[in-house]
Structure 1
């Protein structure tokens, strides 16, 4: 398949009569993040949008709302909704942090506002971009209400398009993490970057898609062949099929 055909196919896959236009920036994604990306920032923002869209498409195709909260027999205490809430929270905690809201898209469109010097000279740690993925929410509507989950995922897509594509990937982030359930000290800080964390959220979501795939199989729900499969695995499969 040619690059042009692939691009056209992907554009069509983003179009659906059931899409709520007020929350899904389909037209914006085509303009702001080209399908044939010209740099790494565009590519990973496009993949983040596309990963969320995979989840949205699956939720729309569930035959009934009770499938969303069905508790797995193979993965104890696990539901599609719990996995969606979990992966949603990771994106939310990265993209809707207080520090990002304050420093996100420059008003004049000048990406130099995110220059590394700002972070190197910053003395007030309260202004650092800090992410703690342990600050997740439990028992919220995203976990139990399929339509609410769709709306929230679409809002994340809007945030990516409107607020995040200007952020350089080397923008520094401090990730605080609880690394042991018995630890008595404060969460351990790790130095990271925006690009690394955005890709982590995508990769993390794909792994949870794999678990969602199992729960769907239990309920005889068919999912796309590439759902929950890592990009590197799909790439290897493609090469094997076309080199044989």
Structure 2
């Protein structure tokens, strides 16, 4: 009896969704990522207003704080955006290293509301600028090498689009923990959609509701 062939793990060979062309799909990835950053900025501007709130050491999630989770979100997006700068792309392939050693100044993001806002705004600027380099679909479809420590060094082939989606899902993961600390420990009232995956929002939305209205809820 022949064995059933498993689907390829290489996402680049996965058929595109029939309801979306490559250009629309690329812009959707960008818009979701920006919407996620905007949702984090909103609570940093209207709910989390003091450094004490940001630094509060969580009881429910030991070792965590609102600031540390915001820092992790910005660091991951910064690692994604770094190889797209002109200073790092010249003369070599695009390489994303999520485990690269970072300057100690990054700790300010976890300790200061103003620095957390600046870090998030910097990420938003970088994401918005993706469309300025040419065709966004071609850019996000481009191959990239991801370096990982497991703890041995691994080099994995991916695409920029896949890594942008990974960063977005990573942000949702940390937003869920931010929500837990903010609501259940600090007594803050956040939007019920904060920290919810886009697919879940689509499932909850009315069939007639435009997708751009759904992204705006993030």
Q: Same fold (TM over 0.5)?
A: yes
Q: Aligned equivalents of 1:176 and 1:86: distance in 2?
A: 18
Q: Aligned equivalents of 1:129 and 1:103: distance in 2?
A: 11
TM-align CA RMSD: 2.6
Shift of 1:176: 0.9
Q: Aligned equivalents of 2:77 and 2:101: distance in 1?
A: 11
1:21-66 deviations in Å (ceiling 9; x for gaps) = xxxxxxxxxxxxxxxxx61121111111111111111111224321
Give the aligned partner of residue 151 of structure 1.
118
Q: Is the aligned partner of 1:175 residue 2:140? A: no
Shift of 1:234: 2.0
1:118-152 deviations in Å (ceiling 9; x for gaps) = xxxxxx9x711111111253662111111111112
Which runs of 5 or more structure 2 residues have no equivalent in the other structure?
A: 1-22, 210-218
Distance 1:202 1:238, change over 3 A: same
Shift of 1:104: 9.3
Counterpart among 33, 40, 61 of residue 48 in structure 1? 33
Give the aligned partner of residue 191 of structure 1.
157
Q: Is the aligned partner of 1:101 residue 2:85? A: yes
Q: Aligned equivalents of 2:88 and 2:130: distance in 1?
A: 6
Q: Aligned equivalents of 1:215 and 1:158: distance in 2?
A: 27
Q: Aligned equivalents of 1:199 and 1:94: distance in 2?
A: 11
Which runs of 5 or more structure 1 residues have no equivalent in the other structure?
A: 1-37, 106-123
Q: TM-score, normalised by structure 1?
A: 0.66
Q: Aligned equivalents of 1:39 and 1:104: distance in 2?
A: 28
Q: Aligned equivalents of 2:174 and 2:156: distance in 1?
A: 23
1:1-244, aligned counterparts within 5 Å? Answer: 39-61=24-46, 62-97=48-83, 100-102=84-86, 127-135=92-100, 137=102, 140-164=107-131, 166=134, 167=136, 168=138, 169-179=140-150, 183=151, 185=152, 187-217=153-183, 218-238=185-205
Q: Aligned equivalents of 1:156 and 1:136: distance in 2?
A: 18
Runs of 4+ in 1 over 6 A off after TM superposition: none
User: Does the CA-based 8 Å contact 2:145-2:156 persist in structure 1?
Assistant: yes
User: Does the CA-based 8 Å contact 1:89-1:136 persist in structure 2?
Assistant: no
Distance 1:81 1:136, change over 3 A: farther
User: Does the CA-based 8 Å contact 2:58-2:181 persist in structure 1?
Assistant: yes
